[in-house]
Amino acid sequence: MIRRRKSGLKRFGGSQQFKEKDYEITIPILNNFKVNLKFSIIILCFFISGLFDSCRRVERDQLTNQQVIIQAGFVCGWGSATDSLIITKTEIRYAYYVPRLSSKPQIQKKRGVPEIEWTQIRNSINADEFIKLNYNSCNVCFDGCDEWISVLNDLSFHKITYHKGLKIDTISQLQLKLAALRAEFNP
């Protein structure tokens, strides 16, 4: 809403010129409560900067949080084979399917995770090193195959995508464990 202040108009040479100070711009919020436009813009800027700030990654020394979810899999182009592993503290789920044959998995298994195995899996990931990895291949875009790993916990999420079969030194222990799990579920 634009409201004219009582100061009036100034005339210069037959035409009327308005000064910015002659008008007050307000935005009605919740019935009769009005907020100055400048104040609204400042609040909006703080809100937007808060959104961007909340998107930052949080680095941690080790993944010790109980709510850690590790996902891994591979995907190939032209409807070829695809698999996925979802690993939590209590359960491992595996699915394997060939999209061109069926939208339902050909293999779908799950099992519990003993505490010793969970500790081994969790210790095979150094969160600081994993977050630094910047792999983002797209071989599947050209009918090739990509492998991916993502780690989600209460404070961060990071995903890498790389050429299927590529060995990455900083996560080699995790890659070995994932390969063993795939062999267990899909011999």
Residue 161, pLDDT > 50, answer: yes
Buried b (16+ CB within 10 A) or exposed e, 94-122: bbbbeeeeeeeeeeeeeeeeeeeebeebb
For the domain spanning 69-185, the CATH number is 3.30.1560.10
Residue 84, pLDDT > 70, answer: yes
Q: Are 148 and 160 in contact (CB under 8 A)?
A: yes
**Domain spans in the chain, listed from the N-terminal domain onward:** 2-54, 69-185
Where residue 110 falls among pLDDT bands split at 50, 70, 90?
Answer: very high
Mean pLDDT across the chain: 75
Residue 56, pLDDT > 50, answer: no
Angle at 143 between CA 142 and CA 147, to 5 degrees: 95
